[in-house]
Amino acid sequence: MLAERGVEGYSLREVARRAGVSPAAPAHHFGDAGGLLAAVATLAYDELTAALEAGNVRGGDDPVARLREQGIGYVGFALRYPGRFNLMFRTSLERTDALQHSANAAFEALHDGVRDLYGVARGAELALAQQHALLAIWSVVHGFAHLAAAGQFNHVAPAGGREALLREILAPVLQQQLEGLRGPVARPARARLSAKASASSRRSARPTRTR
């Protein structure tokens, strides 16, 4: 129903009819349409997390490949389930504890991918520039998903459907972005300070020239 009608065309009565249950059954289990949509979104986030983790497996030990494959998994999920994908990010969605937990798990998969990219320990905070990189990666895949769903890449889409679009267009875009992001901000602040101190030490160790 979400794919066909969007959230605006969603109704408990129609859900019950399609599910072959009494009209009161959805309300009994979920309270109202908002409760049912929150439950659907919770499952959708779980599916998205599974898609991101599958990307990690495909990427192997290379952090760039892992993030690239996460991005392919993210956009692939969005294109397979556009109704669920659009629902997940609605600000009007009822934020139940279960929904928040599942949303956090999906974001943490991406967060861990960026930690691995920069050699940051799991659970540790990212430096500001690394946080910017995380937002840049998320923005690219999220925006690509919406543009692809709207048919904006049809004029450049290769033959082969969705999989070809993901592999021949999105994958090189992500590879280029990730390789560029890894360079400028990968060096931790401590290493930069150490390098500065070392340079300063070398300068102070130089003999003073006398006339």
pLDDT tens-digit readout, 103-143: 999 999 999 999 999 999 999 999 999 999 999 999 999 99
What pLDDT score was predicted for residue 6? 85
* DSSP, residue by residue, the chain: -HHHHTGGG--HHHHHHHHTS-TTHHHHHHSSHHHHHHHHHHHHHHHHHHHHHHHHHHHTT-HHHHHHHHHHHHHHHHHH-HHHHHHHT-TTS---HHHHHHHHHHHHHHHHHHHHHHTPPTTPPPPHHHHHHHHHHHHHHHHHHHHHHTTTTTTTPPTTHHHHHIIIIIHHHHHHHHHHHHHHH-S-HHHHHHHHHHHHHHHHHSPPP--
What pLDDT score was predicted for residue 157? 82
Assigned CATH class of 31-185? mainly alpha
What pLDDT score was predicted for residue 79? 96
What pLDDT score was predicted for residue 119? 95
pLDDT tens-digit readout, 76-102: 999 999 999 999 999 888 999 999 999
Question: For the chain, what is the mean pLDDT?
Answer: 88
What pLDDT score was predicted for residue 193? 47
pLDDT tens-digit readout, 149-178: 999 998 888 888 899 999 999 999 999 999
Query: Domain coordinates of the chain in residue numbers?
Result: 31-185
What confidence category does residue 26 fall into, taking pLDDT thresholds of 50, 70 and 90?
Answer: confident
For the cut 70, the answer to whether the pLDDT of residue 199 exceeds it is: no
**108 or 211, greater pLDDT:** 108
